[in-house]
Amino acid sequence: MADAECDDFDDWLRRATAAGGDREPLIKFAAWYPAVAQRWFDAAIAAGVWDGGRDPGRSGRDYCRQASTSLSHAERSDGVVVHFIVESDVRPFVFRARWCREPPPIQLGRRWTDDQRLTWEEFTSGEPCRGCGRGFVDARERKPILQRTPEEAAAIELEEADFRARHPDCATMRWAYGSTGVTHCSECCPMPPLSPRQVEVITRIAVDVVKRQHQEALDLERRWRAASDATEVGDNRVLRSSTEDA
């Protein structure tokens, strides 16, 4: 990091420490960060160790063991996630990335298209899945193994064998509509549509989340301003004391 960036980082770190909490939400107030992070990405791409990165969002922080000190997270195209830190023992400071999460063991994809999704009216009228042509209900209830009759166990095994024959090369992810749903493949079959009630509930949850995020942003802004005022008062006191001593 250049000298001016180190000075800006020192100032930002004092304010972030005064504001309290994790540093990552406060990175948006760091004027030094965008240019430094872009240089890292450029160097990583040139070295062949980074491709198609993006911000993993909240999930990037949920599993991070250094969430309180990491500055941000980035996700590579293959699912590898890194977090960024600044080593501030000696100047000039060094901007580094650390492994945060390896890629998931199963890379999920899909073969169905959005046009294959059913509407709620089509689903309730009994139209079959447009991915595989099978229905959604009327399979044997999936009871615990010890509670199944021999006939139920045989029917469930027949259903599983049929599913495996239809999807021999697909990933293991599968789904069924309720306890008596026919088994469908996550790669080949679009999920059934949401009911009007589910849409209503999800909409209400989404509105609540947006309101909470807006309030959190306002609270973060207030904390940052309060921290800025506090550090400026402290700097003025140090400057006045130094002047008086001189």
pLDDT tens string 126-174: 999 999 899 998 888 888 888 989 998 998 888 888 888 888 888 778 8
197/204 Cα distance (integer angstroms): 11
Q: Answer yes or no: is 109 within a domain.
A: no
The answer to whether 123 and 136 are in contact (CB under 8 A) is yes
Q: Is residue 28 part of a domain?
A: yes
Same domain? For 232 and 162 the reply is no
Spatial distance between the Cα atoms of 55 and 203, rounded to a whole number of angstroms:
25
Spatial separation of the C-alpha atoms in residues 70 and 156, rounded to whole Å: 49
What's residue 96's pLDDT? 92
User: Is 243 a residue whose pLDDT tops 80?
Assistant: no
Domain residues for the domain of 33 are: 1-104
How many domains would you assign to the chain? 3
> What is the token pair recorded at 39?
């240089």
- Do 52 and 71 fall into the same domain? yes
Q: Is 48 a domain residue?
A: yes
pLDDT of residue 239 exceeding 50, the answer is no
Q: What is the pLDDT of residue 234?
A: 52
Residue 243 lies in a domain: no
Give the pLDDT of residue 33: 95
**Residue at which a domain ends, from 104, 138, 166:** 104
118 occurs within a structural domain: yes
29 and 57 housed in the same domain: yes
Q: Is 137 within the bounds of a domain?
A: yes
Same-domain status, 79 and 121? no
Gap between the terminal Cα atoms of the chain = 33
Sign of CA dihedral 37, 38, 39, 42: positive
Q: Is residue 245 part of a domain?
A: no
What's the confidence (pLDDT) of residue 193?
93
pLDDT in tens, 81-106: 899 999 877 788 999 999 887 766 55
Query: Do residues 12 and 32 touch, judged by C-beta distance below 8 A?
Result: yes
- Asked, for residue 62, whether it belongs to a domain, the answer is yes
The rounded percent of the chain whose pLDDT value lies above 90 is: 44
